[in-house]
Amino acid sequence: MKIAQSLQQIQPSYIREILADAQAEGVISLAGGLPDGESFPMALMAQSLNNLAIRPELFQYGHTAGYGPLLDYFKQTYQQADNHSSVVCTGSQQGLDLIARAFLNPGDTVVMEAPSYLGALQVFGLAQANIESIEQRFDGPDLTQLEAKFATGNVVMFYAVPDFHNPTGVCWSLAVRQKVAQLCIQYGVTLIEDVPYRELRFNGNAQPLVSSFCKDNALVLRSFSKIATPGIRLGVVTGKTEWINPLIKVKQSSDLHSSVPMQAVLLDLLSHGQFNEHLETLRALYHTRYLTLAEQLNQKLPAGCKFNHVDGGMFIWLSLPACDTYKLAKAAIDNNVAVVPSAVFYRQGETIYPAVRLNFTNAAEAELETAVDRLVTAINKTLG
Based on CB atoms, which residue is closest to a copy of itself, 255 or 334? 255
Q: Do residues 246 and 103 touch, judged by C-beta distance below 8 A?
A: yes
Shortest CB 73 distance to a copy of itself, Å: 18
Based on CB atoms, which residue is closest to a copy of itself, 35 or 354? 35
Shortest CB 314 distance to a copy of itself, Å: 12
Based on CB atoms, which residue is closest to a copy of itself, 105 or 351? 105
Residues pairing with 201 in the sheet: 312
Omega before residue 354 within 30° of 0, cis:
no
Based on CB atoms, which residue is closest to a copy of itself, 206 or 256? 256
Based on CB atoms, which residue is closest to a copy of itself, 40 or 275? 40
CA distance 344 to 15: 9
Shortest CB 38 distance to a copy of itself, Å: 7
Q: Do residues 259 and 232 touch, judged by C-beta distance below 8 A?
A: yes
In b/e form, how buried is each residue of 350-381, taking b as 16+ CB within 10 angstroms? eebbbbbbbbbbbbeeebbbebbebbbebbee
Shortest CB 283 distance to a copy of itself, Å: 19
Residues pairing with 319 in the sheet: 306, 355
Based on CB atoms, which residue is closest to a copy of itself, 100 or 134? 100
Based on CB atoms, which residue is closest to a copy of itself, 301 or 314? 314
Q: Do residues 67 and 267 touch, judged by C-beta distance below 8 A?
A: yes
DSSP H helices, the chain, are: 5-8, 14-22, 42-51, 68-77, 92-103, 118-126, 143-151, 174-187, 241-255, 260-270, 275-300, 325-334, 365-383
Q: Which amino acid is at 113?
A: E
Shortest CB 31 distance to a copy of itself, Å: 12
Based on CB atoms, which residue is closest to a copy of itself, 61 or 276? 61
Shortest CB 223 distance to a copy of itself, Å: 11
Shortest CB 311 distance to a copy of itself, Å: 24
Strands 190-194 and 218-223: parallel
Omega before residue 115 within 30° of 0, cis:
yes
For residue 111, which of 139, 172, 152 has the smallest C-alpha distance?
152
According to DSSP, residue 271 is labeled T
Shortest CB 68 distance to a copy of itself, Å: 11
DSSP string, 39-96: GS-HHHHHHHHHHGGG-GGGGS---TT--HHHHHHHHHHTT--TTEEEEEESSHHHHH
